[in-house]
Amino acid sequence: MLFKRKDESNIELMEELIPQHIAFIMDGNGRWAKKKGMPRTYGHHEGTKNIRTLALEANRLGIKAMTVYAFSTENFKRPQSEVDFIFKLPKEFFKIYLKDFLENNIQVRYIGHIEQAPKSTRDVILDSVEQTKNNTGLILCFAFIYGAQDEILCAVKDIVKDVKEGAISEDEISEELFESYLMSADLPPLDYMIRTSGECRLSNFMLWQMAYAEMYFSDVYWPDFDVEELYKALDHYQKCDRRYGGLK
Ligand code: IPE
Ligand code: IPE
Ligand code: MG
């Protein structure tokens, strides 16, 4: 089956080459707002709408999981007023869009230290996870107060603890076992990472999971990264020759 765009891009996507798990580094909200003469917070606010738009399309395309980097462990370095604003966004976001996720069989999840967020923020995320837990369509996973180095260190500490307590033996430690200790353990393997806004770096995002992911860096700022841009990115993905170190 083909998914076709009806615009001038004429992009056709092949169902059998749709990635299972895509991830977005949603970057450029602040610059997008500045360009419009607006405060950075306006960019964050408008950027959230795009999560819903792209999640609905990803679900329609049969993508199994979409992880969005919403707040990094390093983003605490920003002014408190901006951090506070971002922490208020989940409440408004789920108030408006949770019904769309329920209607479209989308399951909400998160990775990261949401326990470090204010209780009201935490509660709304946990409630959305709970309400959508039986949905079987797209997994929409929020990386919130997430950092990959922290994730890896937490896994190491948990493994050391389990070895000490005799729950596992040192010999059992394998790549598979290590992955099962990561926050992303229940997500499909990451196929494709898309970063918006022109920056070509990973900013502490899913470092372990990215080992063999394809990558796409777009100059478009996150709030402007629409369905057409998603199709362009997926078109690029479908042309990648994934060799995993072998030969084809
Ligand atoms: C991404 O946009 C959102 C978060 C990091 C929370 P930015 O806020 O980083 O926007 P720019 O990169 O400064 O334009
Ligand atoms: C990465 O963007 C984090 C998120 C998108 C949540 P940043 O804007 O924080 O990354 P740097 O500072 O440009 O590396
Ligand atoms: Mg940025």
Residue 219 annotated as catalytic: no
| Residue 6 pLDDT exceeds 90 | no
Q: Which of 7, 27, 191, 204 is catalytic?
A: 27
Residue 7: its pLDDT value, please? 77
CATH of domain 21-238: 3.40.1180.10
The residue assigned the tokens 């059998």 is: 16
Which class for 91: exposed (0-12), middle (13-18), buried (19 or more C-beta within 10 A)?
middle
Question: What's the pLDDT score for residue 103?
Answer: 98
Cβ-contact 139, 64 below 8 angstroms: yes
Delimit the domains of the chain by residue range.
21-238
- Beta-carbon contacts of 7 under 8 Å, excluding residues fewer than 6 positions away, are 228
The residue among 195, 225, 216 whose CA lies nearest residue 53 is 225
pLDDT the model gives residue 37: 98
Output the CA torsion sign for 29, 219, 188, 18.
positive
pLDDT score at 46: 98
pTM score over 0.85: yes
Phi/psi for 14 (5° steps) reads -90, 130
Q: Which two tokens stand for residue 89?
A: 């966004």
Q: What is the Cα–Cα distance from 25 to 104, expressed in whole angstroms?
A: 24
Query: What is the Å distance from ligand 1's center to 97 Cα?
Result: 22
75 lines ligand 2 (CB under 6 A): yes
The pLDDT value given to residue 8: 78
Angstrom CA distances, 205 to 71, 96, 151, 222, stand at 10, 27, 10, 16
Q: pLDDT for 162-182, tens place per residue? A: 999 999 999 999 999 999 999
In this prediction, residue 109 has a pLDDT band, given cuts at 50, 70 and 90, of very high
Question: pLDDT digit string (tens) for 188-233?
Answer: 999 999 999 999 999 999 999 999 999 999 999 999 999 999 999 9
- Alpha carbon of residue 171 to chain centroid: 33
pLDDT tens column, 37-90? 999 999 999 999 999 999 999 999 999 999 999 999 999 999 999 999 999 999
Predicted pLDDT of residue 18: 98
Q: Mean pLDDT across the chain, nearest whole number?
A: 97
Give the distance (Å) from ligand 1 centre to CA of residue 86. 11
